[in-house]
């Protein structure tokens, strides 16, 4: 479980709202690359209540938008929470091992889902393909605090399940609408929190909340450092009070994630966000904008940019559909 230490919060250069354009608006998909597709889908549907909305093989236009020609033809399956909310999880079957750790690597590393009763879910997951790593437990020593547990999925995917009670979130977040609901936080780890702040705050225009020192035994185990290691942690707020990005500064011993040329990053591969206009996107893109069909693209233009920790962000132009 996470534990704040020292009680010292450090303001960031992007703690205020400022006049920056806020590009990211909604998390549409979190994509995981896994070695075997069928066992993962079976586990997520049986134990988490997710339903399949699309399956098939990756087509050339989408792989061209990602600039990953080697991924064409790989099998994928996209699933949705029982609530029907439009934040999806996509699994792609690849030949790349791991990507989740240990050892942890820089990039996207954890997917956090809303749940209604984390203790009941913990009982349900016992003896399942999901392994409980930590919790359930309250995140803060106060009434109505969020209650969470950390779990490793069938392919090693790191998942945080969190219950939020009304009025219990310091960020104004709302709770789950189904026993296991949508993603609401994605976590990226990198060598420098300042550089991540510059990207998400300066380039993408998000408000970066005060940086705090945290002890995270799950991260420490994944990074092969002592359990008492302090991780500087900060939160980027996506407008709308539905989604957050957690940024963790990793120890110097952690390495970049290796990726085969022409393929997606292994493990938690990319996170897909909606943006108003791709014309506002200033970071270099992996490929020129392309119109993509299928869920959730619907013929809209798509690009991929890379963050300062090597993480990939897929950007879809337009409103929710």
pLDDT digits (tens, 9 = 90+) for 273-300: 999 999 989 999 999 999 999 999 999 9
In a domain, 132, yes or no: yes
In a domain, 12, yes or no: no
Q: Which domain holds residue 201?
A: 2-6+19-317
| Domain CATH code at residue 203 | 3.10.180.10
In a domain, 275, yes or no: yes
In a domain, 83, yes or no: yes
In a domain, 93, yes or no: yes
Please tell me the predicted confidence (pLDDT) of residue 110: 97
In a domain, 11, yes or no: no
Q: Does residue 263 register a pLDDT over 60?
A: yes
pLDDT (tens digit per residue) in 110-143: 999 999 999 999 999 999 999 999 999 998 888 8
pLDDT (tens digit per residue) in 151-178: 999 999 999 999 999 877 878 889 999 9
**Cα separation values, 85 from 112, 117, 203, 215, 220, Å:** 15, 18, 28, 32, 33
Which helix (DSSP H) or strand (DSSP E) does residue 237 occupy? strand 230-238
CA dihedral 176, 179, 181, 185 (to 10 degrees): 70
Q: Which residues pair with 89 in a beta bridge?
A: 30, 79
Report how many domains make up the chain.
1
pLDDT (mean) for 190-200:
96
pTM of the model: 0.94
């Amino acid at each position: 479980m996470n534990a704040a230490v020292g009680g010292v919060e450090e303001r960031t250069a992007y703690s205020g709202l400022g006049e920056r354009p806020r590009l990211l608006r909604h998390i549409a998909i979190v994509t995981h690359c896994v070695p075997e597709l069928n066992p993962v889908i079976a586990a997520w549907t049986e134990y988490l209540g997710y339903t399949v909305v699309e399956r098939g093989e990756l087509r050339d236009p989408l792989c061209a938008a990602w600039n990953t020609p080697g991924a064409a033809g790989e099998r994928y399956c996209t699933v949705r929470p029982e609530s029907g909310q439009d934040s999806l999880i996509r699994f792609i079957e690849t030949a790349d091992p791991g990507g989740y750790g240990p050892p942890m690597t820089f990039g996207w590393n954890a997917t956090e889902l809303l749940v209604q009763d984390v203790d009941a879910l913990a009982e349900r997951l016992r003896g399942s393909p999901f392994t409980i790593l930590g919790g359930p437990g309250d995140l803060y020593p106060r009434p109505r605090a969020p209650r969470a547990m950390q779990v490793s999925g069938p392919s090693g995917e790191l998942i945080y399940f969190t219950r939020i009670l009304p009025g219990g979130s310091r960020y104004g977040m709302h709770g789950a609408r189904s026993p296991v609901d949508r993603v609401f936080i994605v976590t990226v780890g990198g060598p420098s929190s300042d550089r991540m702040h510059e990207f998400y705050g300066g380039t993408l225009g998000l408000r970066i909340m005060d940086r705090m020192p945290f002890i995270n035994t799950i991260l420490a185990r994944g990074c092969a450092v002592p359990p008492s290691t302090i991780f500087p942690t900060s939160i980027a707020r996506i407008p709308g009070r539905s989604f957050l990005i957690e940024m963790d500064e990793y120890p110097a011993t952690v390495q970049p994630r290796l990726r085969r040329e022409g393929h997606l990053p292994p493990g938690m591969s990319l996170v897909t966000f909606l943006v108003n206009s791709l014309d506002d996107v200033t970071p270099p893109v992996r490929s020129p904008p392309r119109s993509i069909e299928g869920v959730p693209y619907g013929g809209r233009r798509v690009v991929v940019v890379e963050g300062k920790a090597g993480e990939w962000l897929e950007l879809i132009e337009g409103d929710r559909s």
